[in-house]
Amino acid sequence: MGTPHNSASKGDIAKVVLMPGDPLRAKYIASEFLSEAELFNEVRGMYGYTGTYKGKKVSVMGSGMGIPSIGIYSHELYTCYDVDSIIRIGSAGGLQDELELNDVVIAQGASTNSNYASQFNLTGSIAPLADFELLMKAVQSAQELDVKIRVGNILSSDVFYNADSSFNDKWKSMGVLAVEMEAAGLYLNASKLSKKALCITTISDHLYKSEQLSPQERQTGFNNMINIALETAAKSL
């Protein structure tokens, strides 16, 4: 039986799920990188597929934009479909000067301005972190693929168009590499549920260089990031 957001049955979804924000990127990955991919969900247009990669069962499913959306989909995957690991793959805006378009950034940590963690009633602030084993496998995969990566802290922001003109400057000054909108929520769900999560991003625009990729490049590009994620998934199965 499915959920309000996912029509899959138990067993339809692999233990490891790649999760782009854009459901059309999920469709692209399924058609171009997986063998024998089958659609398991299209509720609300949030496509999900399961196929094989190098003989291993792997799923890919869109999450939508923002922490509330990935919070729903990742929670259901972990709790209703027995998923062990979710690897978010998506775009990010570069903050640090040395980053270039199409650079791959792996989020060791995900700072956030979101209030998502308030639900846990903690007496302090929690640091949303990636699973160390997944992180190490991703670094190893990048080395094997000869893809240059940066590993460090990113920002998961609830706001795309920010009224505070100094917002990016403050996070840049703390050494934060890039900004996106989902990783912290995913990491927090994984921590609470004793699951595994990782976020791998590609720099699609730079917030200090006025550079950006086209919408088409964002949807069907990013192959280095995708290959790293798939190799990481295969190593985890």
Question: What contacts 108, CB < 8 A, 6 or more positions away?
Answer: 129, 130, 135, 151, 152, 153
pLDDT value for 12 = 98
Place domain 16-236 in its CATH homologous superfamily: Nucleoside phosphorylase domain (3.40.50.1580)
pLDDT value for 173 = 98
pLDDT value for 122 = 97
Evaluate if residue 54 carries a pLDDT over 90.
yes
Report which of 232, 216, 234 is spatially closest to residue 224, judged by C-alpha positions: 232
Q: What is the mean pLDDT of residues 131-135?
A: 98
Q: What is the mean pLDDT of residues 112-122?
A: 97
Amino acid occupying residue 52? T
Report which of 200, 226, 190, 8 is spatially closest to residue 85, judged by C-alpha positions: 190
CB atoms within 10 A of CB 32: 11
Evaluate if residue 218 carries a pLDDT over 80.
no
**Token pair recorded at residue 87:** 């690897």
Q: Which of 35-39, 83-87, 199-203, 212-216 has the lowest mean pLDDT?
A: 212-216
Its pTM stands at 0.96
Active site residue 205: yes
Percent over 90 (pLDDT), the chain:
95
pLDDT value for 17 = 98
* Tens-digit pLDDT profile for residues 57-93: 999 999 999 999 999 999 999 999 999 999 999 999 9
pLDDT value for 217 = 80
pLDDT value for 214 = 87
Evaluate if residue 94 carries a pLDDT over 80.
yes
Evaluate if residue 40 carries a pLDDT over 90.
yes
Evaluate if residue 219 carries a pLDDT over 90.
no
Confidence of residue 215 (pLDDT cuts 50, 70, 90): confident
pLDDT value for 98 = 97
Q: What is the mean pLDDT of residues 107-130?
A: 97
Domain boundaries along the sequence of the chain: 16-236
pLDDT value for 101 = 95
Which one is catalytic: 97, 158, 169, 205? 205
Evaluate if residue 16 carries a pLDDT over 90.
yes
* Tens-digit pLDDT profile for residues 154-202: 999 999 999 999 999 999 999 999 999 999 999 999 999 999 999 999 9
> Are residues 215 and 4 in contact, defined by beta-carbon separation less than 8 angstroms?
no
d(CA 160, CA 55): 39
